[in-house]
A = this chain, B = another copy of it.
């Protein structure tokens, strides 16, 4: 998606250790008109799949998921990291290892909000090693819901997550795929 790639080139910053910072427009300050275009594109890609629910993970996925959900006219459910005790009743749970925070945590979704009748689109900002996305997929499997696919804003194409998720049978549409960082610059896959 050219608009997103342009934003990455113009407003992203590459840091040591293959870290791409997009906090100017995607995950700290959020460029809502740009995210609306992202949501439209996810809708174009998945509109014929009978999606009735969008699932994401707190925190940075939530805004993207909500704006995308406006195009589908469906609710969003976001998985919570379990520092929260503000959920009562039974939950689905899985584990996620955060590359950014370098720790493992549990994620949960209340059983009230995901079940066998659901056709779920997964949304997240980044796909790198795939831990968050695989954690969400595990939650959906526990619920008996169907996974339509995943919509990702930025995939690190050189990392392992994209292949892991696609090999598991879940379609992934990434709006930008980074092939490599070369001399501190982003190079996109064709």
Contacts and interface: CB of A to CB of B under 8 A. Distances in A.
Interface of A: 15, 21, 23-25, 28-33, 35-36, 58-60, 62-63, 65-67, 69-70, 73-78, 80, 83-88, 100-101, 109-110, 112-113
A170 B119 CA distance: 43
A32 B70 contact: yes
A97 to B, nearest CB: 14
Contacts of A63: 62-63, 65-66, 76, 78
A165 B176 CA distance: 43
Nearest to A113: B29
Nearest to A114: B29
A83 B101 contact: yes
Contact of A100 (B25, B28, B62, B86): B86
Contact of A30 (B24, B75, B85): B75
